[in-house]
């Protein structure tokens, strides 16, 4: 079994390797610390599963996921994130993820998600299933934030969490001018005027806690 772990934190990669080895036995691992490395390794090598962090330097994990599924549609990709299940989980599944697991989840949940993905299924928690069911009756694009790109959505969540442009740029490995551009776009799409408005909107839509 060959598993590629794409996460920019070495301690996370090592922890996942140990956990999966303990549960699944002999596994050959590959590692990638950023989006470009993850894409390159998938294009050049054969994998049975990719575990992909949603927030890595370079490009968002959702963008990487969409590109991976275009070139390797049969390759199961499990999205791992520090963010709780809100809009990111739905976006990940729409982009073709085999499941979405929060880094705060218990190890048995992660192992269950890995087994499900390797078996060709999709791992969906009860909470996410409820969210998906609730969205069935909504028209596409009914909510303003659904029109945001994945990167704009990331910037919106960080603004709502009180991060400055400088902090957002550092966390997403972007230039400050680029962050200002994303901020301007999301304010226009959401019809909002300030960061305070963004925070209020995100709280109202349960996109942040």
What is the third-level CATH fold of 144-204? Arc Repressor Mutant, subunit A (1.10.10)
- pTM, 2 dp: 0.71
174 versus 56: the higher-pLDDT residue is 174
Asked if residues 150 and 111 have their Cβ atoms less than 8 Å apart, the reply is no
Q: What is the pLDDT of residues 160-179, one digit of tens each?
A: 989 999 999 988 888 999 99
48 half-sphere exposure, CB direction, 13 A CA radius: 13
- Parallel, antiparallel, or unpaired for β 77-81 and 49-53? parallel
- Of the candidate CATH numbers 3.30.360.10, 3.40.50.880, 3.40.50.261, 3.40.50.2300, the domain formed by 2-135 belongs to 3.40.50.2300
- What are the extents of the domains in the chain? 2-135, 144-204
């Amino acid at each position: 079994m060959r598993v590629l772990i794409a996460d920019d934190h070495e301690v996370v990669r090592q922890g996942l390797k140990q956990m999966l080895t303990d549960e699944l036995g002999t596994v050959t691992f590959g590692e990638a610390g950023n989006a470009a490395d993850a894409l390159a390794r998938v294009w050049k090598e054969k994998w049975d599963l990719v575990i992909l962090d949603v927030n890595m330097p370079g490009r968002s994990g959702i963008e990487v996921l969409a590109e991976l599924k275009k070139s390797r549609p049969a390759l199961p990709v499990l999205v791992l994130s520090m963010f709780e299940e809100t809009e990111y989980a739905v976006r990940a599944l729409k982009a073709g993820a085999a499941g979405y697991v929060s880094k705060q989840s218990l190890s048995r949940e992660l192992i269950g998600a890995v087994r499900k993905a390797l078996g060709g299924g999709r791992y969906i928690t009860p909470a996410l299933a409820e969210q998906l069911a609730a969205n069935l009756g909504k028209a596409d694009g009914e909510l303003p934030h659904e029109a945001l790109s994945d990167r704009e959505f990331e910037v919106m969540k960080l603004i709502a969490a009180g991060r400055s442009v400088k902090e957002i740029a550092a966390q997403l490995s972007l230039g400050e001018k680029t962050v200002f551009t994303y901020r301007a776009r999301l304010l226009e799409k959401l019809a909002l005027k300030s960061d305070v408005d963004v925070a209020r909107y995100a709280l109202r839509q349960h996109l942040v806690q």
